[in-house]
Amino acid sequence: MRNILNRNDFWFFVSITTLVLYLLPLMIYGENNYVRVHDNLDITVPLLKILVHSGMVFTGSMEIIPNMMGGLPRLVYGSEFNYLVWLFIFFKPFVAIAINEILMHSIAYLSLYLYLNYLLRDKPIDFKLFIIHVSSLLFALTPFFTATGLGVALLPYVLLVFLKIRSHEDTWFDWIALLVIPFFSNFVLVYLFFLITLGVSFISEMGLNKKINYKLLLALFSMGVVFLVIEYRLVYEMFIGHNFISHRSEFVRKSVDFMGAYRGGHNAFLFGQSHSINLQFFYLLATLNLAIFLTWLKNHLSPIVSLGIAVVFIGSLFSGFWEIVLMSKYYLPSLFVITLISLGIQKYFRMFFAFLLFTLCCCVWYGFWYYQGWLEFSQNISFLSTFDFSRFILLLTPIWYVLFALSGIIILKKIRFGIVIMAILSLLQLNQAFESAPFFQNPKGITYQKFYDTVLFDEIKVFIAQDPSKYRVASVGIHPAVSLYNGFYTLDGYAVNYPLSYKHQFRQLVEKNFIFNPNARQFIENWGSKCYLIAENYNYDEYQKGAIIEKFYFNAELFYTMGGRYLLSGYKINNTAENNLQLEKVFTSSHSYWCVYLYKIVL
């Protein structure tokens, strides 16, 4: 049995089989899979679909693509040199999404496997292959953020390439990889922060060693230049062009007090962030804490002591003990102090504690990015106010699984029965990963097909009986992405970068609602990336079929002037006369998620 567990081919078979089972629903259920809506179906998919179908993939940055928000510059839709665009060019949208998911999870496994194999190559420990393959597999089963492409999945491999270049072990293939990977990744969300982190780390190391590694600097510079070339549209408008003022220039981040910032950092450490769901709570964290404890004990504990630790630890996983410890407000500062002390005096585990310290720092930075004291300073600096520098947290997904692997090595080294503990933890984490799979059948979610409901919205287009490009619509209670995906031209929408002038114009459409919905003012004025029509409840992620809107106000005259002719409402609007609205027809069916009330503007 031991020989089998120490064979690469066995673990490759287990891992690939598990990945196939994990990804199987994508192939079996197709568009009936449950797919994440937030920052995915509500923006990423419709923007890519619009860009590809517009035929303006390579057009000038300021050329107008008319579909969304009355027409937005090509700049808003991102670079044509990102592989997600090309997936949408060659495949239907859902097929493109499925291919992207398969690639992300498969490449994540290989990426971390190669990195851990390199990192642990000099450690002669039994069951090392078990640790490497299982950690890589668990990393591959995390729910990656679609918009990052293969960026997060490839982070371990890119780090491996830089480490090989640093130690002069690089090959020509490593350099080609550095120049090709940017086309499959996202610079703004992930690799800007990755390159900043590596740059600071490597340059500091060169300063301490008083020796310049020119090859390493060339690698950092080369990858950065390729990313900037890919994002040439954004770079030009930021530093050269002066005819595009982004709505982001008026961003006002939410402000929290010191304890609010601390809680934000603590929650990020425990649960991650909406774009970085790492599944570390609580089995990974329990493993991490056991490893920290063991680093302070002598090697080769007796069988009785080892058995006692194993029994107590496994029992604690099912007793609620770890929830109490991890949720304590004293946990994070205590762990920070222990990590700093351990990093200074623990000779053999410095890599483990260095990764842990980086993780803690990223989470604390994420929480205090919104601290009111820092906000008062950063809001006066344009670059800091428009750009979200809390995104260092997106680098942590692979690091959690590197920490899991290093924790496993410590547990195997320190106590007998360590393999039993790691096997149980791995199975528990594997079960959590399958339960968290974004495309598994989830009765609380919404399927891709039901969200976009092309049959229902085709009926609406047929009823209107006009070329959709000749009029504009907006939605109430329904994400504008649904209309956009189905070929309507809208005055509302969701974009992370669009002209400030349109934000001001759209504000005039909805400002009457600010009186009875003060949260909407913050939503529109301080952020504004979602130009959504606002009713009593503007939470578009909690649709309630059959509900009624008692209070809804918008500037019908301005809406009409902007080309708006119809409202697609998910709810019946009671005060239609006040808004110059006339109900044309109700569209729904027993199979539809939506019930769409089609209102026409009557002036």
pLDDT digits (tens, 9 = 90+) for 374-406: 877 777 776 776 778 899 999 999 999 999 999
Q: Where are the alpha helices (DSSP H) in 296-390?
A: 303-317, 321-327, 331-345, 350-368, 372-378, 382-386
pLDDT score of 59: 95
Q: Residue range 481-492: average pLDDT?
A: 98
Can you tell me the distance from the alpha carbon of 527 to that of 525, in angstroms, rounded to the nearest whole number? 6
pLDDT score of 338: 96
Q: Residue range 85-102: average pLDDT?
A: 96
Q: Residue range 512-525: average pLDDT?
A: 82
Residue 53 falls inside a structural domain: no
Nearest to 342 by CA among 297, 306, 300, 400: 297
Nearest to 568 by CA among 494, 506, 476: 476
Nearest to 111 by CA among 402, 355, 352, 354: 402
Which residue, 217, 244, 271, sits at the end of a domain? 244
pLDDT confidence tier of residue 166, bands split at 50, 70 and 90 = very high
pLDDT score of 2: 64
Burial (Cβ within 10 Å: 0-12, 13-18, ≥19) of residue 293: middle
Q: Is the pLDDT of residue 298 over 80?
A: no
- In the chain, the number of structural domains is 3
Do 158 and 206 lie in one domain? The reply is yes
Residue 38 falls inside a structural domain: no
Residue 41 falls inside a structural domain: no
Q: Residue range 571-594: average pLDDT?
A: 93
Residue 125 falls inside a structural domain: yes
Q: Residue range 199-219: average pLDDT?
A: 93
Residue 481 falls inside a structural domain: yes
pLDDT score of 537: 60
Q: What is the mean pLDDT of the chain?
A: 92
Q: Is the pLDDT of residue 439 over 80?
A: no
Residue 51 falls inside a structural domain: no
Q: Is the pLDDT of residue 60 over 90?
A: yes
Q: Is the pLDDT of residue 85 over 80?
A: yes
Can you tell me the distance from the alpha carbon of 275 to that of 36, in angstroms, rounded to the nearest whole number? 11
Which of 128-132, 153-157, 439-443, 596-600 bottoms out in mean pLDDT, i.e. has the lowest?
439-443
pLDDT in tens, 35-53: 889 899 999 999 999 999 9
Residue 73 falls inside a structural domain: no
Q: Is the pLDDT of residue 159 over 90?
A: yes
Do 293 and 240 lie in one domain? The reply is no
Do 334 and 417 lie in one domain? The reply is yes
Q: In which region does residue 67 sit, left (phi positive, over 0), alpha (psi from -120 to 50) or beta (all else)?
A: alpha
Do 256 and 230 lie in one domain? The reply is no
Which residue, 179, 213, 244, sits at the end of a domain? 244
pLDDT score of 535: 79
Q: Residue range 469-490: average pLDDT?
A: 97
Do 118 and 26 lie in one domain? The reply is yes
Do 326 and 412 lie in one domain? The reply is yes
Do 592 and 501 lie in one domain? The reply is yes
Whether 69 and 495 have beta carbons less than 8 Å apart is answered as yes
Which residue, 407, 441, 475, sits at the end of a domain? 441
Do 423 and 539 lie in one domain? The reply is no
Residue 520 falls inside a structural domain: yes
Q: Residue range 63-69: average pLDDT?
A: 97
Q: Is the pLDDT of residue 300 over 90?
A: no
Q: Residue range 293-303: average pLDDT?
A: 85
pLDDT in tens, 574-585: 999 999 999 999
Nearest to 549 by CA among 540, 557, 558: 540
Higher pLDDT, 472 or 372: 472
Q: Is the pLDDT of residue 188 over 70?
A: yes
Q: Residue range 362-374: average pLDDT?
A: 92
Do 255 and 280 lie in one domain? The reply is yes
Do 95 and 235 lie in one domain? The reply is yes
pLDDT in tens, 305-348: 889 999 999 999 999 899 999 999 999 999 999 999 999 888 88
Do 408 and 268 lie in one domain? The reply is yes
pLDDT confidence tier of residue 124, bands split at 50, 70 and 90 = confident
pLDDT confidence tier of residue 516, bands split at 50, 70 and 90 = confident
pLDDT in tens, 343-357: 988 888 999 999 999
Q: Is the pLDDT of residue 514 over 90?
A: no
Do 526 and 545 lie in one domain? The reply is yes
Q: Model's pTM, two decimal places?
A: 0.95
Residue 327: domain span? 251-441
